[in-house]
C-alpha cells in the first residue's frame, strides 16, 4: 500500500507533467480508436452492399461457364456435348407443327448457353467436402416465350414475288411470321434451404409459387397475390425480391424441381451455393471444389467485393492503405512522448530517487515505483484516449458522410442480350448483373472491444515509458544523486 500511496502522491505533486503525459498517450490512443471505428464503419457499409449477394466471408457460388471457340464449346466430353445439344439445340426453336395455318399459338423455350448444367448429385459431393457447412443447387435459365399466328403458308415456306421489275426473274420470298418474342430470366431455387437461396418466401410442397424481382414486377404491373404464367402453368406470386447491387438477379424465382420439370432438365442444376464452416476455410474449400469438379468456376465474397467501385471502394482502399500506417505512427509518437516525459521526470527526481537508494531501496524497487507511476498515467491516458476516440467516432456518425457504391455490368454480362428490334438473343440463360449506384451513410461504431483496446494500448505505453525511466533511475549512484541539486 505504501508504494501505491507514494505513487498517487507523486502524481498529484507533479500534476502538470502527469496530465501532459496522460494527454500524449490519450491523443495517440484516441486516434487509434477513431481510425478503427471508421474502418469498422467502412467494413459494415461494404457488407451492407454485399450481404444480398452472399453471406459475406463464408459463401461462394460454383458454376461451369462455357468456353466457346470457333470449333464450338471447349473442354467438354462427348457426353457433355450431347447433353448441351439436347438442352440448347436448334430444334428448341423449331416452330413447325405449332398449330394449323391461321391459328394462334404460344410457346416457351428454356435456354442456358452461358453456363453448362451438371447433375444435381454434384451438390451432395460438394457438401461432403471438408470445410463445407452446407450446399444448395439452383438452375438459372432464360425463358423465351413466342406468341403469334401461324402464317397461312406455314413457317418458312417460300412465296413467289409477283409483279417485279421488268427484266428480272421472280425471286422466292419467305413470308414473315407475325409473332412476338419476350424473354425473362428465371431461377429455380431449393426451397428447403432458404438461407442459401437467391430468393426467400417459397414454401415447401407442390404448390406452384413464384417470387418476382421488384423491378420486373414494377415494369409489368405484377403484384403479390396475382398469378404468373410460365409455359402454360400458373404460378401464384407470393413475394417480391430486391435486386442485389452487383449480383446476379433473375426476373422470377420458382422452386427448383418445378423449373427442372418445365425445362425438361430433371436432375440438372447449373449453380451451387456453398457455405463454408468459417471464413478461414473459404480458400481451402474453393481449391477443393476446383479439384473435384472439372471446369468449375468459384465466385467468393472477395470476388464480389472487387466489383464494387465508387467512393465507398475508394474510402475502403484508403483506409486499408493509410489506416494501419496512421495507427502505427500515432502509437509510436504517443509512446515516445510518454517515454521522454518519464525520462525527464526521472532526471528532475535524481536527488529524491538517490535518497531512496541511500536509505536501502534496491534497484528493482526503484524500477517498480517509477513503472507503477507510469502505469497509473497510462490508465489516465487510456480513459482520455477512449473519450477522445468515442468523441471522434461520434463526430463521424453525426456528420454521416454519404458514400456511393457503384457496380457496372461487365462486358458480355449475364442476362439476355438485346437483339434486333428490342428483342433478345436466345441462349444466354444467365441472370443479369445488377448495375447501378447505391448511396450509403457512413458511421463509426465503437464497441467495448475498442474501449478495452484503448486502455490496453495506453497501459502498454505507460509500461514502456516506466520501464525505460525505471532503468535510468536504477542506475543512479546514491552518492552522485545526493550531490545533485534540483
Q: For 199-215, how does the pLDDT look when each residue is reduced to its tens digit (9 = 90+)?
A: 888 998 999 999 999 88
User: In the listed set 270, 295, 320, which residue is the last one of a domain according to the structure?
Assistant: 295
Return the pLDDT at 243: 63
pLDDT digits (tens, 9 = 90+) for 269-302: 989 989 888 878 888 999 999 999 988 888 887 7
Residues 353 and 318 in one domain: yes
Is 171 a member of any domain? yes
User: Do 290 and 334 reside in the same domain of the chain?
Assistant: no
Report if residue 437 sits inside a domain.
no
187 burial level (CB within 10 Å; 0-12, 13-18, 19+) = buried
Q: Are residues 257 and 328 in the same domain?
A: no
Number of structural domains the chain divides into: 2
Q: State the pLDDT confidence band at 136, using cuts at 50, 70 and 90.
A: very high
Report the mean per-residue pLDDT for the chain.
74
SS3 state of residue 251: coil
Specify whether 224 is located in the same domain as 348. Answer: no
CA distances 106 to 98, 230, 261, Å, are 8, 11, 18
Beta carbons within 8 Å of 308's beta carbon, 6+ residues apart: 46, 49, 50, 245, 246, 405, 406, 407
CA atoms of 317 and 311, how far apart (whole Å)? 10
Question: What are the DSSP calls for 371-412, one per residue?
Answer: HHHHHHHHHHHHHHHHHHHHHHHHHHHHH--EEEEEE-PPTT
Find all residues with CB under 8 Å of 160, minimum gap 6, and list them.
170, 171, 172, 173
- Which residue segment(s) compose the domain that 119 sits in? 65-295
User: Range with the lowest mean pLDDT among 19-28, 161-170, 189-198, 228-237?
Assistant: 161-170
Whether 168 and 236 map to the same domain: the answer is: yes
pLDDT at 427: 31
- Output the CA torsion sign for 168, 174, 178, 181: negative
Q: Are residues 287 and 371 in the same domain?
A: no
Residue 435 placed within a domain: no
Please tell me whether residues 289 and 385 are part of one structural domain.
no
pTM score:
0.57
One domain, residues 236 and 380: no
DSSP summary character for residue 216: H
- Candidates 232, 330, 397; CA nearest to 27 is 330
- Residue 47 is assigned to a structural domain of this protein: yes
Per-residue DSSP letter, 151 = -
Q: Phi/psi zone of residue 208: left (φ > 0), alpha (ψ -120 to 50 degrees), beta?
A: beta
pLDDT for 21 beyond 70: yes
167 and 198 co-located in one domain: yes
**Residue 409 falls inside a structural domain:** no
Whole-number pLDDT of residue 289: 94
Q: Which residue has the higher pLDDT, 167 or 464?
A: 464
Whether residue 428 is contained in a domain is answered as: no
Asked if 295 contacts 28 with a C-beta cutoff of 8 angstroms, the reply is no
pLDDT (0 to 100) of residue 211: 94
Q: What is the pLDDT of residues 47-95, one digit of tens each?
A: 666 555 444 445 788 888 876 655 556 566 677 777 767 666 554 555 5
Is residue 213 included in any domain, yes or no? yes
Q: Which of 277, 315, 297 lies closest to 133 in space, CA to CA?
A: 277
Query: What's the pLDDT band for 125 if we cut at 50, 70, 90?
Result: very high
Same domain, 249 and 123: yes
Amino acid at each position: 500500500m505504501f508504494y501505491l500511496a507514494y505513487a498517487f502522491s507523486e502524481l498529484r505533486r507533479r500534476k502538470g507533467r502527469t496530465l501532459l503525459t496522460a494527454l500524449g498517450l490519450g491523443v495517440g490512443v484516441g486516434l487509434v480508436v477513431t481510425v478503427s471505428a471508421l474502418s469498422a464503419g467502412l467494413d459494415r457499409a461494404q457488407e451492407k452492399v454485399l450481404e444480398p449477394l452472399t453471406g459475406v466471408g463464408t459463401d461462394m457460388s460454383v458454376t461451369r461457364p462455357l468456353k466457346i471457340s470457333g470449333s464450338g464449346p471447349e473442354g467438354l466430353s462427348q457426353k457433355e456435348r450431347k447433353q448441351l445439344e439436347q438442352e440448347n439445340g436448334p430444334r428448341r426453336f423449331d416452330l413447325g407443327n405449332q398449330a394449323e395455318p391461321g391459328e394462334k399459338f404460344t410457346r416457351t423455350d428454356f435456354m442456358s448457353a452461358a453456363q453448362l448444367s451438371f447433375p444435381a448429385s454434384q451438390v451432395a459431393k460438394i457438401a461432403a467436402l471438408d470445410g463445407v457447412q452446407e450446399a444448395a443447387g439452383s438452375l438459372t435459365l432464360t425463358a423465351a416465350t413466342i406468341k403469334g399466328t401461324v402464317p397461312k403458308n406455314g413457317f418458312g415456306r417460300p412465296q413467289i414475288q409477283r409483279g417485279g421489275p421488268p427484266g428480272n426473274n421472280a425471286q422466292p420470298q419467305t413470308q414473315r411470321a407475325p409473332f412476338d418474342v419476350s424473354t425473362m430470366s428465371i431461377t429455380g431455387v431449393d426451397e428447403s434451404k432458404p438461407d442459401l437461396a437467391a430468393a426467400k418466401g417459397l414454401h415447401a410442397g407442390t404448390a406452384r409459387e413464384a417470387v418476382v424481382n421488384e423491378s420486373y414486377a414494377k415494369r409489368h404491373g405484377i403484384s403479390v397475390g396475382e398469378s404468373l404464367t410460365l409455359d402454360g402453368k400458373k404460378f401464384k406470386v407470393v413475394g417480391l425480391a430486391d435486386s442485389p447491387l452487383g449480383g446476379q438477379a433473375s426476373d422470377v424465382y420458382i422452386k427448383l424441381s418445378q423449373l427442372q420439370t418445365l425445362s425438361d432438365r430433371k436432375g440438372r442444376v447449373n449453380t451451387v451455393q456453398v457455405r463454408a464452416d468459417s471464413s478461414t476455410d473459404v480458400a481451402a474449400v474453393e481449391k477443393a471444389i476446383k479439384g473435384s469438379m472439372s471446369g468449375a468456376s468459384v465466385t467468393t465474397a472477395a470476388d464480389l467485393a472487387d466489383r464494387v467501385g465508387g467512393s465507398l471502394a475508394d474510402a475502403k482502399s484508403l483506409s486499408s492503405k493509410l489506416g494501419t500506417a496512421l495507427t502505427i505512427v500515432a502509437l509510436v509518437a504517443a509512446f515516445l512522448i510518454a517515454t521522454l516525459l518519464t525520462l525527464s521526470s526521472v532526471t528532475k527526481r535524481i536527488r529524491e530517487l538517490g535518497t531512496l537508494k541511500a536509505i536501502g531501496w534496491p534497484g528493482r524497487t526503484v524500477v517498480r515505483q517509477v513503472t507503477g507511476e507510469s502505469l497509473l498515467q497510462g490508465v489516465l491516458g487510456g480513459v482520455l484516449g477512449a473519450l477522445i476516440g468515442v468523441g471522434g467516432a461520434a463526430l463521424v456518425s453525426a456528420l454521416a458522410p454519404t458514400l456511393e457504391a457503384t457496380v457496372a455490368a461487365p462486358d458480355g454480362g449475364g442476362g439476355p442480350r438485346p437483339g434486333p428490334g428490342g428483342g433478345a438473343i436466345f441462349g444466354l440463360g444467365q441472370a443479369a448483373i445488377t448495375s447501378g449506384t447505391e448511396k450509403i451513410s457512413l458511421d463509426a461504431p465503437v464497441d467495448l472491444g475498442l474501449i478495452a483496446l484503448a486502455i490496453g494500448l495506453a497501459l502498454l505505453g505507460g509500461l514502456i515509458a516506466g520501464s525505460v525511466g525505471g532503468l535510468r533511475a536504477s542506475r543512479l549512484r546514491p552518492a552522485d544523486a545526493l550531490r545533485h541539486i534540483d
